[in-house]
Structure 1
Amino acid sequence: MPGAEKINGEWIKRYKNPWLIAGPCSVESEEQLLDITEKVAAQGVKVIRAGIWKPRTRPNSFEGVGAKAFDWIKSARSQFQVQFATEVASAQHVEQALKNDIDILWLGARTTVNPFTVQEIADALQGTDIPVLVKNPVNPDLALWIGAIERIYNAGISKIGAIHRGFSSFRKSQFRNEPVWQIPLELKRNIPEIPLICDPSHISGNRDMIFDISQKALDMGYNGLMIEVHPDPDKALSDAQQQITSDQLSEIRKNLKIRKATSNNVLFKNKLEELRDKIDSIDHDLLETLSNRMKVIGLIGEYKRDNNVTIFQLERWNEIIKSRPDWAEALGLGREFIEDLYKLIHTESIKNQTNILNQHTSKSK
């Protein structure tokens, strides 16, 4: 990302580590907002999340109370000495939020996926210095996420953060949105300075899973969490199943383990280096084995070509995708992991054999 080194990752250090943003999915009434703000602020939380406009999948769903919530936010901020973060999905939202002194803005997953909308929001942010958090797009597309961050950065905003809220998937899963952890970690590799926040509420879709996802995020070095908290979650007007009470938030925070980024212990460093050397050696052998497998795939491709046989063989693929997870399970490896791995290998094998067939075809013309 051009100029990524100029992103100001230091701004997040004004908040306690790990940073916690907590509050209702949607602002529903002044009483609800004051109630939850008081309870969350009493725990030392300095930033309250408050959805004013809620982009919903179905048109008759609760879509937020709109701009009238700004007066309630001002009242809560004054009473409890906290900051507020809210989602913006258009340039008009940005203008209204800035006019009403909202402290932090975030772009939702449905917004991040649309470069035209992100650019309109970026244009509306020109000349401001407000922190902006960018949620991952709905679909697992790292380039879209980076592109949205670039557009905000190019508007002159240096206080940028990324929110990992998971990705939509057709696959049956325990998650509302698949975490696909490697994508936010790859984002961090591309933009090392950007603060990374996890939204366990949207990843889980289930309050019983929030602690485990929060702990995993912190274990991987995330800078903070965004958690949905409601006075009476079961009666919430949006996303009821994934919201928790302030007491549940307190319990989660009490049990979270905060780990160090590294250790200066010499014995630790030496042992870690020794184990990493072993990993490097194993990886070299693994890649050599994979290369040998692809060479055999190439020979099979030539044999199919010479005998005028199709590349894809359904019976053989069914045999592989059934047997390899069984073998893996006997070795203590996860079935799903091996299934995904072999799907990647199979895709590359099909590609290689297709190239062999196409080379022969082009030579014969």
Structure 2
Amino acid sequence: MHKKALLISGPCSAETEEQMLQSATELAATGRVDMLRAGIWKPRTKPGMFEGIGTKGLPWLRKAKEVTGLPVAVEVATAKHVEDCLAFEVDVLWVGARTTGNPFSVQEIANALRGVDIPVLVKNPIHPELELWIGAVERLAKAGLTDLGLIHRGFASYGNTDFRNAPMWHLPIEMKRRLPDLPIICDPSHICGRRDTLAAVAQQAIDLDFDGLMLESHPDPDNAWSDAKQQVTAAALKTMLEGLTWRHEPTNQREFQTALAGLREQINQLDTEIMQLIGRRMGVAQQIGQYKKDNDITILQTNRYSEILDRSLRQGEKLGLSPEFVHTYLEAVHLESINRQNKVMNS
């Protein structure tokens, strides 16, 4: 059977009552959306940009819920936001990326929610800092909130051109490892920043066993007041969702484990061999460090590293390894080699 994924959708920003009702009605008609989202307060990068309609938009969401039956979710950044959302019976709150990165703001929200039973989702901070993400969850948990979850919306990355926010999939995977009991939802809209790549990112999140998707939609995306390029119509959203491959959970756990056991044992053996080889490599690096120390030679030899990198990139291409992986692997190995040689130099 297919895993039931939570699907949250709605406009980046609530603009008018008519827009919200139209959005909710069209999304409900798809039969695929579980929850309506809308930005009421928008923390923008620069002044003068549209910063949200404010509290007057909350009655529109409540009316949309009454008309369609869809529960609603809103981003909060202050205690006042929390107070207003609770007054208008918002069903789910989420902490935005900019707020997650500010422990004072998260603590203010946690204090405002003390004693309140409401689901709260926490987006990753703008920059790739897992401890800030985990810290935000811990602050909310210490305030007594038990229905918590995560939203992965990508991370700011200087020089990045493929995504609005680089997904850095290894970071949400690490969060799943550290906090396995918390559901995690992917927000392809903020990762992509444009609608033509949404499906590919959504599919990758599904393949990585995320628990749901948050996708922005708008009745007239090109004329949206904020983030127009990453929003889609309800009809386009439905088509996209129908085109995704929804992975299934194994129905026969014993058969599933047996089928993978042999392959996993091969992985275990190969991992052991790799670690042994790296250990031997570091032993040679220490010998080189001793020679450099004895002959007053600097540790860093940039020409040598460039030679290793060029050779490894050529080998990696023949083996089907991506240049990004080869770079990342060699940087880690090179740094460990330098650390080993530095210890020898200063022993």
Instruction: Tell me the TM-score range normalised by the shorter chain.
Output: over 0.9
Deviation string, structure 1 residues 50-86 (Cα, Å, up to 9, x no partner): 1000111111111111111012112211111111101
Question: Distance between the aligned counterparts of 2:327 and 2:299, measured in 1?
Answer: 20
Paired amino acid for 2:237: L
Q: What RMSD in Å do the two structures reach over aligned CA positions?
A: 1.4
Larger deviation, residues 349-358 vs 201-210? 349-358
The Cα shift of 1:261 comes to 3.0
Matched with 2:24 is 37
Q: Which amino acid aligns with 2:28?
A: A
**What is the CA deviation profile of residues 268-294 of structure 1, one whole-angstrom value per residue up to 9, with x for unaligned ones?**
432310011111111111111111111
1:41 deviates by 1.0
How far apart are 1:46 and its partner, in Å?
Answer: 2.9
- In 2: Cα distance, 1:327 partner to 1:347 partner: 21
Equivalent residue number for residue 350 of structure 1: 338
Deviations along 1:134-165, whole A, 9 cap, x unmatched? 00111111111111101111111100010011
1:240-282: CA deviation from partner (whole Å, max 9, x where unpaired)? 1111111110101111222123341655432310011111111
1:168 to 152, 156, 166: 156
Amino acid at match of 1:18: A
Pick one of 35, 59, 74 that aligns with 2:47: 59
Asked if the contact 1:221/1:261 (under 8 Å) is kept, the reply is no
In 1, Cα distance between equivalents of 2:38 and 2:329: 40
Mapped to 2, the partners of 1:58 and 1:294 lie a distance apart of: 49
Aligned-residue offset at 1:304: 1.3
| 2:64 aligned residue (62, 67, 76) | 76
Alignment of 1:1-365 (within 5 A): 17-44=4-31, 45-264=33-252, 266-359=254-347
- Note if contact 1:49-1:84 (Cα within 8 Å) is conserved in structure 2: yes
TM-score, scaled relative to structure 1: 0.91
Does the aligned pair in 2 maintain the 1:164–1:196 contact within 8 Å?
A: yes
Structure 2 residue ranges without an equivalent (≥5): none
**Which residue of the partner structure matches residue 5 of structure 1?**
none
Whether the aligned pair in 2 keeps the contact of 1:325 and 1:336 (CA below 8 Å) is no
Alpha-carbon distance in structure 2 between the residues aligned to 1:235 and 1:68: 21
C-alpha deviation, 1:322, in angstroms: 2.3
| Partner Cα separation in structure 2 for residue 204 and residue 302 of structure 1 | 49
> Larger deviation: 317-326 or 149-158?
317-326
Cα deviation digits, residues 168-208 of structure 1 (max 9, x gap): 11143411111111111111111111011000111111211
3-state SS of paired residue (2:250): coil
State the distance in 2 between where 1:119 and 1:205 align.
Answer: 29
How far apart in 2 are the matches of 1:18 and 1:246? Answer: 18
Moved more, 200-209 or 258-267: 258-267
Q: Distance in 2 between matches of 1:187 and 1:232?
A: 35
Gap runs ≥5 in structure 1: 1-15, 360-365
The CA distance in 1 between the partners of 2:62 and 2:264, in whole Å, is 52
Deviations 1:278-332 (A, max 9, x none): 1111111111111111111111111111111221112112222222111100111
TM-score, structure 2 as length reference: 0.96
Q: CA deviation at 1:48?
A: 0.5
User: SS where residue 161 of structure 1 aligns?
Assistant: strand
Aligned AA (2:25): E
Deviation for aligned residue 1:94: 1.0
Structure 1 distance, partners of 2:290, 2:166, is 39
User: 2 CA distance for matches of 1:127 and 1:265?
Assistant: 40
Identity %: 48
Cα pair 2:250 2:256 within 8 Å, conserved:
no
